[in-house]
Amino acid sequence: MEIKGIKAKLVDVFAESKLTGNGLTIFWDYTDLSSEEMQVLTQEMRQFESIFVRKTSEPNRVKARIFTMEEELDFAGHPLIGLAAHLHEEYGTQDRHEWNIELRSNNVRLISHAKGDYYSASMELGAPEFISILKASESLEVLSALNLGEKNAADIPLEVISTGLPYLIVPVISGIEQARIKTRDFEALLSRYGAKFAYILDVNTLEGRTWDNEGKVEDIATGSAAGPAGAFLFKAGMVSPNTPFQINQGRMVGRPSKIDVCLEANNGEINNITVSGDVHKIASISFE
């Protein structure tokens, strides 16, 4: 594997300042990399996710692929928010830019704003997909697998919602600090309901938590879950359309993160969800 000359950039996403928020590695300016090589490079950097980007013939359109330490994803939020800041730094000529991103299975529009020594970026997710609602007995099984009980649960059914990646939203009113994945077959449990990951959401404080499905690594800020979480809150009557609100994440791992969400809706139906956050550059890397 030839890595000499590959460029990478480290940024913090959904961050109020450097060394907060969710770290991301952006790989760019490479000739060619196989899927296997992208996976190895992601594992080398040991970030929750990395994103690989290639330019196209259109100046504001790029192709991107997203990897976790274990696999390639069709969609993920914080890599795309970080990508918008990277594109603005490298190719931007104005204070505001729009970028069209070709992913493995869909396209996403990003918007970036220069803010002096950092960037603000947003992604438009379109309308959410409501996939399944869990029964009471099913909800109790999931809560138990997350080290929670009925006393911790909000009086709202657990629901699988997707804006690109399907999340099982687990609404709670207490116990978020004690939550953890304590079953070995959690991924199989989620797959019964069409979910890829679970997102615990305290509906009183709007704080979220999620992990890889083995429970080994807690995510610091999950942009792909913020859209489903916002749709869940709107459906429950807890947030209003066209009124931005903020989801907090990362407190339990010492990396406080702020995810901004805004929903557009007509006649009770969500037309679009926008997820936004600030991005701070940490370092540029050139592989030897």
CATH class of 7-124+277-286: alpha beta
Rounded CA-CA distance 227/165 in Å is 10
List the single range of 28-32, 40-44, 165-169 with lowest mean pLDDT: 28-32
What does the alpha-carbon distance between residue 183 and residue 190 come to, in Å, rounded to a whole number? 12
Structure-block tokens of residue 50: 């990395």
Residue 199 confidence (pLDDT): 98
| pLDDT confidence of residue 17 | 94
Choice among 45-59, 116-130, 233-247, 267-281 with the minimum mean pLDDT: 45-59
Average of per-residue pLDDT across 59-83: 94
State the pLDDT at residue 59: 86
Considering the segment(s) 129-275 as one domain, its CATH architecture is Roll (3.10)
Centroid of chain to Cα 67: 12
Q: Output b/e per residue, 171-194; b: 16+ Cβ within 10 A.
A: bbeebbeebebebeebbebbeebe
Give the residue carrying structure tokens 């529009």.
Answer: 109
% of the chain beyond a pLDDT of 70: 100
Lowest mean per-residue pLDDT among 49-58, 141-150, 273-282: 49-58
Where does the pLDDT of residue 286 fall: very low under 50, low under 70, confident under 90, or very high at 90 and above?
Answer: confident
Rounded Cα distance, 92 and 97, in Å: 7
What's the confidence (pLDDT) of residue 140? 97
Domain range summary for the chain, segments of one domain joined by +: 7-124+277-286, 129-275
